[in-house]
Amino acid sequence: MLGVMGNFGVYVVARSAWPLLELPAVQQAGGEPRWSARDGDWQVLLLSSGLDPGPTLMADTDAPVLTADVVSGHFAMIDAQSPGGGDVWHCALAPRAARSYALDPELGPPPERVLPRALGWAREAGLTPDEAALDTTLRAEGTPDDLLRAFLEALGFRFVVVDAG
């Protein structure tokens, strides 16, 4: 179960036997580690700032990767990709807040377009997603922390806090 995460920064979700901070993509992205949690080899790491390590990290891990960039504490931009599907998809958690930032519609597509891609990503990652919970989360408004926590749980993750920073 996730505890307090943080309301800004870049969250990185990837599978690796090594700590994410030791992977070249995360080191090159920069940013200070603020918080981390694990679910087996799956890890989530909050970096205080830095670049999105997603594309390079997927090459480092040969596994699906998801990143979430919390924008001004108002919404989270999700970027996800998977090596098997070659698919890259995006969504915004707290879609109304994201629209207030004049977000490009392709970066914040409607939940009905995101849901099948998110379910496919989770299954490729070896998870058992909760379709109803995922759909609800994609449509919900709220704090990025609460929405991201619900989103990760709906994908099928059961993270346990390792370092609360």
Question: Between 90 and 151, whose confidence is greater?
Answer: 151
Structural domain contains residue 2: no
CA distance linking residue 122 with residue 4, whole number of Å: 23
Regarding beta strands 75-81 and 65-71, do their DSSP bridges make them parallel or antiparallel, or are they unpaired? antiparallel
- DSSP E strand boundaries for the chain: 9-15, 33-39, 42-47, 65-71, 75-81, 88-93, 160-163
Residue 103 has pLDDT above 80, yes or no: no
CA distance linking residue 133 with residue 153, whole number of Å: 9
Whether the Cβ atoms of residue 78 and residue 70 lie closer than 8 Å to each other? no
Q: What percentage of the chain exceeds 90 in pLDDT?
A: 45
Residue 3's pLDDT band, with cuts at 50, 70 and 90, is: very low
Structural domain contains residue 3: no
Structural domain contains residue 13: yes
Average pLDDT over residues 123-144: 95
Structural domain contains residue 4: no
Whether the Cβ atoms of residue 111 and residue 138 lie closer than 8 Å to each other? yes
- Reported as a single tens digit per residue, the pLDDT across 12-27 is 999 999 999 999 999 8
H or E segment at 28?
helix 24-29
Structural domain contains residue 28: yes
Residue 106 has pLDDT above 80, yes or no: no
Structural domain contains residue 98: yes
Domain that holds residue 78: 9-162
CA distance linking residue 26 with residue 107, whole number of Å: 23
Structural domain contains residue 81: yes
Residue 105 has pLDDT above 70, yes or no: no
Average pLDDT over residues 160-164: 77
Chain mean pLDDT for the chain: 86
- Reported as a single tens digit per residue, the pLDDT across 51-98 is 777 778 888 898 999 999 888 778 888 999 988 766 678 888 888 888
CA distance linking residue 34 with residue 98, whole number of Å: 24
CA distance linking residue 88 with residue 107, whole number of Å: 11
Structural domain contains residue 1: no
Total domains in the chain come to 1
